[in-house]
Amino acid sequence: RLADLQATHDVDFTVVNADNAAAGRGVTPALADDILAMGVDVLTSGNHIWAQRGVEQYLDAEPRLLRPANYPPESPGTGIFHGRARDGQPVIVINLQGRVFMPPIECPFRALDDILDEIADPSATILFVFHAAATSEKLGMGWHADGRVSAVVGTHTHVPTADARLLP
């Protein structure tokens, strides 16, 4: 159905969170390849990224699978994707993980500030995927990122929340 949805809605760029794609725990390299082959541009993840065998090498080889950027810098892979949408628009996808009710990790607020300070293309669409457990942390991050990114999307909670909003 993805190709039909992309065509029907004239989708220029598709991002999928793959953190639970492999039976609820992470993603395998083969499954990531299958999802990307469906026309997905980028896969994001979170705290389950390390759950499947072989993912460390895959992260180093496949820049379209992101791990949270606020893992230690020596971790395999990257948490930032620079690319172009189908219409040629530059797109940057940033993947960070929260800290409330999650394993210890570098501060996502500081990490976002550092990443945004390094972005050289002010014309890029910046999609920020924030993998966090607490709605309050996601809302706080939304306000922190307001006016500096194009959209903040929260993942991890496994249930839809009714707090979608447009910020000034």
- Active centre residues (catalytic): 48
Residue with tokens 């993603």: 27
Amino acid at 78: T
Long-range contacts of the stretch 112-116 (C-beta < 8 A, 24+): 112/141, 112/144, 112/145, 115/69, 115/80, 116/148, 116/149
What is the Cα–Cα distance from 94 to 79, expressed in whole angstroms? 6
